[in-house]
Chains A and B, each alone.
Chain A
Amino acid sequence: KAGVTQTPRYLIKTRGQQVTLSCSPISGHRSVSWYQQTPGQGLQFLFEYFSETQRNKGNFPGRFSGRQFSNSRSEMNVSTLELGDSALYLCASRKRDSYNEQFFGPGTRLTVL
């Protein structure tokens, strides 16, 4: 069974630009969550999608947005990039309910110059 895949793996952008990251969940998993990981803050929850609907959102500005497609693939978009957006962005998929573990993808390393 293929794992969670994320593309691209590495990205370098400049301030003010926007970026779109992609996540393909494990087959059959309909929930996709996104996290930002930085050395100081650890794993910070961005948002979670289930069946194309955003069910939960963390405490991030509106520049961070996402969506999910009918095949459960998800994209995350960050507009007007700031230096502080440099981080590892992880997505994780899981089956429907809380009794199932999340499976993390390898992440996208975003560097904002």
Chain B
Amino acid sequence: QQPVQSPQAVILREGEDAVINCSSSKALYSVHWYRQKHGEAPVFLMILLKGGEQKGHDKISASFNEKKQQSSLYLTASQLSYSGTYFCGTEIQTGANNLFFGTGTRLTVIP
């Protein structure tokens, strides 16, 4: 049930954009995005629910294609602080409360 993330790693210069993808072989109810900096706990970025509801930080955008069971996280005008590993977590039914995370995408932003 583990979703697949791509790319596995990406290096950006400040100001550049990036897209991180997450796909599942199962029908999804929700997709959650988290960022983890080295040595720290994962921090919430965004939730996307089946049906179109979203909840998250203003500077982060994401999409959820329910037909393809795919989600994408869009990082625009990247800053050095965006560096970290991004994880998507998926739930296959409402109330399941068991997030299955992908293996992560390591993003490095350089000056």
Contact residues of A with B, CB < 8 Å? Answer: 4, 31, 33, 35, 40-45, 48, 50, 55-56, 58, 90, 92, 94, 97-107
Contact = CB atoms under 8 A, between A and B. Distances in A.
B32 A42 contact: no
A56 B98 contact: yes
A56 B101 contact: no
B32 to A, nearest CB: 7
Contacts of B55: 99, 101
Interface of B: 2, 29-30, 32, 34, 40-44, 47, 49, 53, 55, 87, 89, 91, 94-104
Given A103-B44, A104-B43, A98 B98 contact: no
Contacts of B89: 43, 102
Secondary structure class of chain A's binding surface, majority of residues? strand
Contacts of B91: 98
Most buried by B among A50, A98, A100, A106: A98
22 contacts: A33-B99, A35-B101, A43-B87, A48-B97, A55-B98, A58-B98, A58-B100, A94-B97, A98-B91, A98-B94, A99-B47, A99-B49, A100-B47, A101-B44, A101-B47, A101-B55, A102-B89, A103-B44, A104-B34, A104-B41, A104-B43, A105-B41
